[in-house]
Chain A
Amino acid sequence: TQLLEQSPQFLSIQEGENLTVYCNSSSVFSSLQWYRQEPGEGPVLLVTVVTGGEVKKLKRLTFQFGDARKDSSLHITAAQPGDTGLYLCALNRDNYGQNFVFGPGTRLSVLP
């Protein structure tokens, strides 16, 4: 059973464009993490969102946690080629902080 769904699966845009990717679940989760993974590398944590309705900004990236804590979005403003990668959302299934369920990811390609 896929606990997390992500959309779109693939996205190819020109440098300077804006984009939004989504992470959804049928279940409520206490917190959600967003990771970016570049080719040949492991995922790197971008942000953790905890509170329903929470908005966090990381330079040109804006993360939002849905009010009902069942969905999240990542918005990138003025995308750059360096934003290219696989964007993964993940939730923790236990209280110890190491049993993650990952979504299938959105593969973003930003063309110069």
Chain B
Amino acid sequence: DAGVTQSPTHLIKTRGQQVTLRCSPISGHKSVSWYQQVLGQGPQFIFQYYEKEERGRGNFPDRFSARQFPNYSSELNVNALLLGDSALYLCASSLARGPNTEAFFGQGTRLTVV
């Protein structure tokens, strides 16, 4: 079975532009979460979606938005990009069956804002 897939793998954008990142979860997983990992730090939670509804939101500005589609894939959108948005953006999917549920991560999208 395919794991969590993210696209694109790398992206370079200019300040002020908008970006859309995509994630396909493992088949059967209805929960998708997004994380931002700045170089040298652990991942920071951005959003969680379950059954197309937002279930959690981290401490990120309104420039960040996301959605989940009927097939459980997801998109993360970031508007008005800042240099500080440069990071590895990780998507994770899971069965979301409790606090000990394993989350499976994709390899991430490396976003560079110049």
Which residue numbers of A lie inside 8 Å of B, CB to CB?
A: 4, 30-31, 33, 40-45, 48, 50, 88, 90, 92-105
Contacts and interface: CB of A to CB of B under 8 A. Distances in A.
B100 A45 contact: no
A103 B41 CA distance: 8
B55 to A, nearest CB: 6
B43 A104 contact: no
Interface of B: 4, 31-33, 35, 40-45, 48, 50, 55-56, 90, 92, 94-108
A112 to B, nearest CB: 24
A88 B40 CA distance: 12
Contacts of B108: 40-42
Contacts of B45: 93, 99-101
